[in-house]
Amino acid sequence: MRLPSWLRWLALLALCAAYLQGGLVKAMDFAGAIGEMQHFGLAPAVPLAAAVIVLELGASLMILSGFYRWLGALALAAFTLMATFLANRFWAAPPAEQFMLANAFFEHIGLVGGFVLVAWEDLSRRAAARTA
């Protein structure tokens, strides 16, 4: 049984919502985006901030539009996995911060899984369409 197309699109929008919001906020406050890169020790901060904005918005739009959806989903999965291990290192945090960081870590791992499923479904649909 398949989801109605409108519900499927809303689910994809929900999956991409944080990346759309994050990309837009970073684009509107580029100095803040640079500061975020510097906070995590990433250099060079300016091109990395720009790349993150392009990735978050571009990959989200790929997923929502269906244009190479699998590629956009895998890009956000890889980005999220890397960012999670960088920003949510609960095992190295002081005890008072571990609970919140662990929650964020595992929530982001869930997002990675969701994006992998989106990519798998899209590639499966493409393969089925080629053999039909």
- pLDDT digits 0-9 by tens, 17-46: 999 999 999 999 999 999 999 999 999 999
Domain count, the chain: 1
Angle between helices 5-28 and 95-131 (to 10 degrees): 130
- DSSP 8-state symbol, 44: S
Range of the domain at 82: 5-131
Q: Hey, CA dihedral for 70, 76, 82, 84, is it positive or negative?
A: negative
How far is Cα 48 from Cα 33, in angstroms, rounded to an integer? 9
- pLDDT digits 0-9 by tens, 47-74: 999 999 999 999 999 999 999 999 999 9
